[in-house]
Amino acid sequence: MGRFSLGVSPHADGDKEETVAQTQVPSQPERQAFLARMRHSAAHVMADAVLEMFPDAQLAIGPAIEDGFYYDFKLPRPLTPDDLREIEERMRRIIAADFPFIREYMDRDEAIRFFTERNQPFKVEIIQELPEEGLEDGKVSIYRHGKFIDLCRGPHVERTGQIGPFKLLSVAGAYWRGDEKRPMLQRIYGTAWPTQEELEAYLQRLEEAQRRDHRRLGRELDLFSVSEMVGAGLILWHPKGARIRTIIEDYWRQLHYERGYELVYTPHVGRKELWEISGHLDFYRENMFPAMVGETQEFYVKPMSCPFHIQIYKSSLRSYRDLPLRLGEIAAVYRFERPGVLHGLLRVRGFSQDDAHIFCRPDQIEEEIVGVLDLTLEIMRTFGFHEYAVYLATRPEKFVGDPEQWEAATEALRRALEKQGMAYDLDEGGGAFYGPKIDFHIKDALGRTWQCTTIQFDFNMPERFDLTYVGEDGRHHRPYMVHRAILGSLERFLGILIEHYAGAFPVWLAPVQVIVLPIADRHTPYARTVAATLRTAGLRVQVDERREKVQAKIRDAQLQKIPYMLVVGDREAADQTVA
């Protein structure tokens, strides 16, 4: 069996590398666990290096994250690229010293005193708020390497020398605890890998991801923008971006009509009482915009459409013959995301979600889930996503509803997946408190995974709103309710599409499919005739009438990633052709 290097430590002089520890090739879970430990340890080493450079630095938190790590600091000045290089050099020296990571314990009061003396208020705040169950035998866990000590539960690698090749990537602002009313900190992002080859491969993927960044492409291709005058996280769709959205929405609606869905429209706002009954004001208020106060009532903009679709269900007496009832909508919803998490199209405050809710009888649930899975696969393949991972999340310790309903719903999800021949991972206890669910994670052209589709049973809403149907026995029964969103947020899905295709959309999805390029002004009338003919055939066409050389027009059309370019000059006009 091959060998797998757990850590490669660059020497301070950078001339050679020393393998500190080796082990047998690990399984994927073992590898992921090791990477998490190593990156967490790298965050500690980075904090140590920052404290060397800035003795008055105040440390916040520094976890491992997917593909890397970060640490938040309050520093006396903004960091520069030169600072990152200096921090990296100090990190290399700490790694080469091969300090052991040592776990120690302090009483809560002792830990508060220790970090207070070192002017670390963020650590003190964390310790003060630690619940008793967060302590170990009533004590606070810390980790030490060399002279550096940090509040931490671990785990870590055994020694700093086991931290592999790393790179500090960027600095960003982050509010303490994500609260814009708290101090703004500087967050340093980094990555670390077991081998230099893996690090270089990751940096290449990162460079390609930056080239495909939907924010840059959205600006260059004139698809969308965000205006400070309108507000952060609120997207303005330009004509080309709006055209793509329209194509997606038209396709979505047509497909849903074919699959037996009834499409509806619901308001953007609802009365306070609606959100009280639904439970949103109790459990989701922090993600909702503040109330709008009318003359006699309060209204909230909707964060989701479920209560509205429920009201449509309740608008008439339902019989078992009426089920299943599938209500769908591309609904505008609003969520009060914190400024620090907003990110282009991927995290916004106002977005359109392809919400649908299925109300059905117990004997229909498996068939309905099979239908949703089949619809999901068709949609994802149409958009060019052929690789995916599926997760089945089951009942958590705390839940609402009848255990027998949970079991029936979970089994329906399981059998539906098996009928479709879909492999899945079981997420034991990972369901929401109100029902089991299936999550789809699609893989894009860069190998990144994105959670898009969710198929979620809900045993909470039908109880809260007292949903019923009249069964064959003439008695009232509670329907099963399934939430499902296939694309999720259209804004987010479009951001994923832009990066997946690097802005070069397939012809059917391109906002401009054909551009006609007249060589000179005298060819413009014929170019317009060609464009009109193509539009009549249903194509999306533009004419570049600028007084530019045709080579410049071709270059600009390539930059705009237009699939087809038609050049017309004297010969084409005379022959009624194109080139």
Count Cβ neighbours within 10 Å for each residue of 11-37 and write b for 16 or more, e otherwise. eeeeeeeeebeeeeeeeeeeeeebbbb
CATH number for the region 226-266+302-500 comes to 3.30.930.10
Q: How many residues does the chain have?
A: 579
Instruction: Tell me the C-alpha to C-alpha distance, in Å, between residue 13 and each of 9, 96, 199, 261, 464.
Output: 11, 10, 19, 66, 67
Q: Which residues, at least 6 apart from 50, have a Cβ–Cβ distance to it below 8 Å? A: 57, 59, 71, 73, 75, 87, 188
**Residue 193, token pair as written in the block:** 């890998």
Continuous H helices in 386-506: 403-419, 461-464, 490-500
Answer whether 175's CB lies under 8 Å from 183's CB.
yes
- Kindly state the tokens that stand for 449: 């995974």
Strands (E), 75-147: 102-107, 139-145
CA 32 – CA 42 distance, rounded (Å): 15
Rg (CA), the chain: 28
In the CATH scheme, what architecture does the domain 3-211 have? 2-Layer Sandwich (3.30)
How many other CB atoms are there within 10 angstroms of residue 340's CB atom? Answer: 19
Cis? peptide before 29, omega within 30° of 0: no
The two structure tokens encoding residue 304: 């989701």
Q: What phi-psi label fits residue 331: left (phi over 0), alpha (psi between -120 and 50 degrees) or beta?
A: beta
The partner residues of 161 in beta bridges, in order of sequence, read none
Tokens of 78: 């903004």
Question: How far apart are the C-alpha atoms of 1 and 386, rounded to whole Å?
Answer: 33
Are the beta carbons of 65 and 191 closer than 8 angstroms? no
Topology (CATH) of 514-575? Rossmann fold (3.40.50)
Strand ranges in 125-165 using DSSP code E only, listed in sequence order: 139-145, 148-151
Cα distance between residue 405 and residue 577, in whole Å: 66
Every domain range in the chain assigned CATH 3.30.930.10: 226-266+302-500
pLDDT the model gives residue 133: 77
Q: Pick from 235, 505, 477, 470: which is nearest to 345 by CA?
A: 235
DSSP-derived secondary structure letter, 205: H
Catalytic annotation, residues? 306, 335, 353, 355, 357, 437, 483
Strands 388-393 and 437-443: antiparallel
In the chain, the amino acid numbered 326 is: R
CA–CA separation, 543 and 557 (whole Å): 11
d(CA 518, CA 371): 50
| Residue extent(s) of CATH 3.30.980.10 domains in the chain | 3-211
**CB contact burial 110-125 (16+ within 10 A = b; e otherwise):** ebbebbeeeebebbbb
- Count the alpha carbons within 13 Å of 265 in the hemisphere toward its beta carbon: 0
What pTM was estimated for this model as a whole? 0.83
Q: How far is CA 477 from the centre of its chain?
A: 38
**Ordered DSSP codes for 467-495:** --EE-TTSSEEPPEEEEEEEEEEHHHHHH
List the chain pLDDT tens, one digit each, 579 residues: 232 223 333 333 333 333 334 434 466 778 899 999 999 999 999 999 999 999 999 999 999 998 999 999 999 999 999 999 999 999 999 999 999 999 999 999 999 999 999 999 999 999 999 888 778 878 999 999 999 999 999 999 999 999 999 999 999 998 898 888 899 999 999 999 999 999 999 999 999 999 999 999 999 999 999 999 999 999 999 999 999 999 999 999 999 999 999 999 999 999 999 999 998 998 888 888 999 987 789 999 999 999 999 999 999 999 999 999 999 999 999 999 887 788 999 999 999 999 999 999 999 999 999 999 999 999 999 999 999 999 999 999 888 888 888 998 999 999 999 999 999 998 888 888 889 999 999 999 888 899 999 999 999 999 999 999 999 999 999 999 999 999 999 999 999 999 999 999 999 999 999 999 999 999 999 999 999 999 999 999 999 999 999 999 999 999 999 999 999 999 999 999 998
